[in-house]
Amino acid sequence: MFIIDAHLDLSMNALEWNRDLRKPVSDINEREKGMRDKPDRGNATVSLPELRKGNIGLVVATQIARYVSPDNSLPGWHSPEQAWAQTQGQLAWYKAMEEAGEMVQVHNLTSLNSHIELWNNNQPNDAKPVGYILSLEGADSLISVRNLEKAWNYGLRALGPAHYGPGRYANGTDATGLMGANGIELLKEMERLNIILDATHLCDDSFWQALDHFNGHIWASHNNVRSIVNHNRQFSDDQIKALIQRGSVIGGALDAWMMVPGWKRGVSLPKEMKCNLEVIIDHIDYICQLAGNTLHVGIGSDLDGAYGREQAPYDLETIADLQTLPAMFLRRGYSQEDVENIMHNNWLRFIKNAWK
């Protein structure tokens, strides 16, 4: 089945993890043997060949660079200008992949339709470029709101105003507080440019404020359910219902600490925590029950989002194993149409509506 994955940090892995994503995952992990600079070394799950193997032909791919003030202990850049430069390096990597024929940017209806046609032509995927819709995870790298139009011009089509902690435009995971005047200005400019608002990572205060001030299209690229894992990173039932009312699609994320309660980072192991792919179906099913249908859920795996197999479902070796999900949904009683909605049609319908 054709799959759309609405959240992958490809350029971050290429530049900050120094991974050649044109290689098979096995080659990447072999080269990282013995490395200890990052906890997920040797545990990668994502590469372009694995996307092709899994028939994951379209992804939402990020730029990401956080600004941190002197009193912020999170990792990040010490000025917005440095953060902007980092995202421009990430953009250069995507462009290099395009020039190499490995990827192609999808940024309007014409490019979307032609790309979907290519990936559904019943020919082998080996030579097909992976399509990507460019998203910015956290707005800190926008030196000012004026940078947003520059980003739109190079293809940015979705933006999450916050990531972890306090941000320059909004507050994110593990933080609290409303967006300031510049955050509201950002939302207005996003609406003018028809940039999709990604509600993922917004703290509760900023989430509700953003929904009150933004009249454009909203999705949540990679977010799970707070009623299953009680943490502010997940959505409450009220937040899920509000997104459903706005016509949003919510992508299920495969980061283990977001999937099962009680996960201790760096200590817990997927098997001992019973974290397998069935668990993400639990999260997706929960949203479907709230909605009363299968029209507001998808996949936003976040695989290799600063973690690897040590913090992913134990029955997933690489991202290509997302292909096991359709049969699992069918065994849960979902229809073929339901499964197609979840694996690609909901994202396609949302994007086509946003770009019409």
Average pLDDT over residues 151-176: 98
Average pLDDT over residues 25-35: 98
Alpha carbon distance 346, 50 (integer Å):
23
High-pLDDT (> 90) share of the chain, %: 100
What pLDDT was estimated at residue 107?
Answer: 98
Average pLDDT over residues 9-38: 98
What pLDDT was estimated at residue 72?
Answer: 93
Q: What's 72's domain CATH number? A: 3.20.20.140
CB 236 within 8 A of CB 226: yes
Mean pLDDT of the chain: 98
Residue 271: name the closest of 301, 226, 224, 314 by CA.
Answer: 314
* Residue whose token pair is 């900050």: 16
- Local confidence band at 207 (pLDDT 50, 70, 90 cut-offs): very high
What pLDDT was estimated at residue 250?
Answer: 99
Per the structure, the count of domains in the chain is 1
Q: Which tokens hold the place of 43?
A: 């545990």
Domain containing residue 329: 3-355
Per-residue pLDDT tens digits for 168-179: 999 999 999 999
What pLDDT was estimated at residue 144?
Answer: 98
Per-residue pLDDT tens digits for 58-106: 999 999 999 999 999 999 999 999 999 999 999 999 999 999 999 999 9
What pLDDT was estimated at residue 247?
Answer: 98
High-pLDDT (> 70) share of the chain, %: 100
CB 139 within 8 A of CB 149: no
What pLDDT was estimated at residue 130?
Answer: 98
Average pLDDT over residues 110-122: 98
CB 323 within 8 A of CB 299: no
Alpha carbon distance 9, 305 (integer Å):
6
Dihedral sign (CA 99, 103, 108, 111): positive
What pLDDT was estimated at residue 309?
Answer: 98
Residue 200: name the closest of 139, 153, 147, 149 by CA.
Answer: 139
Alpha carbon distance 277, 328 (integer Å):
9
Average pLDDT over residues 30-55: 97
* Residue whose token pair is 């770009």: 355
For 43, half-sphere exposure in the C-beta direction (CA atoms, 13 angstrom radius) is 19
